[in-house]
Each structure stands twice: as C-alpha cells, then as structure tokens.
Amino acid sequence: MKYILKPITMIAAAIAIISCGGPKESGSQTPADALLDRLTDLVDEGKIMFGHQDDLMYGHSWKLADDATEYVQSDVFATCGQYPAIYGMDLGGIEMDWPANLDKNRFDHMRASAVAHHERGGITTFSWHPRNPLTGGDAWDVSSDQVVASILPGGEKHDYFMTWLAKAADFLGSIKTADGQTVPVIWRPWHEHTGSWFWWGQKLCTTEQYKALWQMTYDYMVNERGLDNLVWSYSPGAGELTSVEVYGERYPGDEIIDMVGFDCYFYSTREDYLAKMTNALDITKAFADEHGKLMAITETGYEGVKDAKWWTEVLYQAMKDYPVSYVLVWRNACDAHMQHHFYAPFPEHESAEDFKAFAALDQMMFL
C-alpha cells in the first residue's frame, strides 16, 4: 500500500472533501490510510506510543481463561493504571491451522482482543514466525538455505506456501468490529532478516529472493486478496546495522513499505545498549527521512528488566530525541519454566515505580 497520493487519488479526495464537507466523511480512505494518518499525527505531536507483546493474552503470573469474553487484564495496566497504546501479537501457527499460536494464544482471542484494543483507542501490530515450509521445522530451523527459493513462484513449495499466506490473509482480514468495520493493523512479516536465525534470514537467501518474498506476500495480500487494512512494516535486527546502505540492502521498496524500524535488545550494559540504540536510531532515521516513512522501535527490551531505573534512565534516554512512532517491548511469558522471560514490569517488580514515572512522561503515550 502506498502512502504517496497519486494525482488521480488527490483529485478524487478533493472532490469528496468538497462534496461531503470534510475528509472524515469522504469514505474514500482505506482503514490502512486512516491508521497511517493517525500515526503521522501522533509523531507530529511528539508522542511515542508504548507497546507490549501479548499484553492482553497473559502476563508474568496469569493467563487469559479459554472462555474469556473480555480483555482487561494486563501487567502494564496493573503496574501503571494504563494500557499500552500498541499491542503486539504473532501469527505463528496460523499456517498449520492450529487453534492457538506458537505462544499458546488462541486465535479467536487474538482477533477479539485486537478489536477490543482498537475500540479502546489502541493499535495492534502482528509479526509472524511461520514454521519452515520446506523442512517442517519451526521458524528458527535454518538447516536449509533453499527455503525461500522453494516457496517463490516456480519453487517446489510455492503452491503449499500460498496456502499459508491465504490463512494469514484470512486472519488479518477478519479483524472486524461488531458493525463490520475492518480494523487496521501494522503488519510486520519477515523481520530480523539481517540476522541468520530465521529461515528468511541473511545467509539463508539472496537479496533478490528476500525482496521477491516480500513482493509475493504483498501482491497476494493486497492485490489479489484486496486487504486494505495493513500498514506494512520493515524491521531488520539492530545488531547488523553498520550503515544506511546495510539497512536498505534488502528493503522491499517504497511501494510496499509504510513504516521502518528495527529490533534491538539489551544484553549486557547500559552503555552497550545505548550505543546500539543510538546507532540503529540514527541509521533508521536517515533511511526514514530519505524515503518519507515513519519509524518505530519494533521490538526491544531487557529480559527480566534487571535495572530498577531501566525505563527512565535507559530506554527513554535512548529514544527521546528521535521521532519514534512507537516502542514495543517483548512478552511476559507465564509458563512455569519461562518465568525469567519478561520484558514489561508487573506490580511487584523492582522497576515498577520507575515504569510509573516513565508512563507519566508527557512524550509517552499509553491508553
């Protein structure tokens, strides 16, 4: 989906505005365009939306009941009294017809909670860790460097993979309010491709194959299926970003991408993280400016948040001077053996007080 208005669209929009009294009544704007406008306005206002993966599905010590009908529990809300503005979820498993995704979130709850979040004024983003269509392994199975080649047109798994895209498209197009309005979402497939830990990663396919994978995904979802509710997001891993050229090496093109970002985690020290973030933000901003795109920190966090002032003294300091649309921290796993795997606080956590101060900052947007 393009954000740049073509002359014919501009004329149509002008006629609609004149005849209907304003852009809101024009009826010609797609859900994705409306979301992009909103995202642009918020950046212009200097807001950074806070996001949390799987926020309404489970938390550090709770999980949504199978028969739940409302989506109100949240570690972020329990800590600061507000919901995250951005709600991340992952479609991994949709391709297998599983009832729940790879992190055990039921797809029916994912759909309904995305609608509930939208009705609360929030924005949902979906990533996708699909299984490996060639080997039968998971997204992290990098045992073959022929996977992307095999699913492109002419490849032995092409037809099979198109059934996976169909299932993802069915889901993304099915997020609707009770009165039938399609909910716009930020769609972020094929992420962290500058690393080589997913089957679509740097060493697992060529630049041409990676770009062709995006083109095929976009052509199918937008041109063939007519999905008009997707804001397309591109997010390399920050670790490999040594220059703007590296950032753009596998960029699928301005016609496909609406928003650019990166994934960057805290692994060792404040200094190391701040240096990595500054580097990735500088490069992403230069690229975003050059291409007229919005920018975001599509994934970040410190597993276990082992720094009581991490929110105001590290994360906020790293991003406050950049026009960041949103920053999303990863999930708070609830499984017994994954208790260390959390990236947002919960009320008893040592960083909870600092998180409240972070959430109260003017620049930060929660709901």
Shortest Cβ 168–ligand BMA spacing (Å): 15
Size of the site for ligand BMA (CB under 6 A): 6
Separation of alpha carbons 322 and 43, rounded Å: 10
Shortest Cβ 90–ligand BMA spacing (Å): 5
Separation of alpha carbons 67 and 362, rounded Å: 37
Shortest Cβ 343–ligand BMA spacing (Å): 9
Separation of alpha carbons 92 and 171, rounded Å: 12
Separation of alpha carbons 86 and 329, rounded Å: 10
What part of residues 129-158 is at the interface with ligand BMA (CB under 6 A)? 129
Contact between 192 and ligand BMA (CB under 6 A)? no
Residue nearest to ligand BMA (CB): 90
Tokens of 37: 């406008």
Shortest Cβ 272–ligand BMA spacing (Å): 19
Tell me the three-class secondary structure of 255-274, residue by residue.
CCCCEEEEEEEECCCHHHHH
Cβ proximity to ligand BMA: between 104 and 225 the closer is: 104
Contact between 331 and ligand BMA (CB under 6 A)? yes
Integer angstrom CA distances of residue 211 from 68, 160, 196, 228, 353: 40, 19, 16, 21, 44
Contact between 260 and ligand BMA (CB under 6 A)? no
What part of residues 219-248 is at the interface with ligand BMA (CB under 6 A)? none
Shortest Cβ 66–ligand BMA spacing (Å): 20
**Count of alpha carbons within 13 Å of 256, Cβ hemisphere only?**
20
Cβ proximity to ligand BMA: between 48 and 102 the closer is: 102
What part of residues 73-112 is at the interface with ligand BMA (CB under 6 A)? 90, 102-103
- b vs e for 84-114, b when ≥16 Cβ sit within 10 Å of the residue's Cβ? bbbbbbbbbbbbeeeebbbbbbbbebbbbbb
Separation of alpha carbons 246 and 193, rounded Å: 11
Cβ proximity to ligand BMA: between 57 and 281 the closer is: 57
Cβ proximity to ligand BMA: between 38 and 129 the closer is: 129
Cβ proximity to ligand BMA: between 89 and 216 the closer is: 89
Shortest Cβ 331–ligand BMA spacing (Å): 5
Which distant-in-sequence residues (6+ apart) come within 8 Å of 200 by Cβ? 147, 148, 190, 193, 210, 213
Shortest Cβ 342–ligand BMA spacing (Å): 10
Q: Which residues bind ligand BMA (CB under 6 A)?
A: 90, 102-103, 129, 330-331
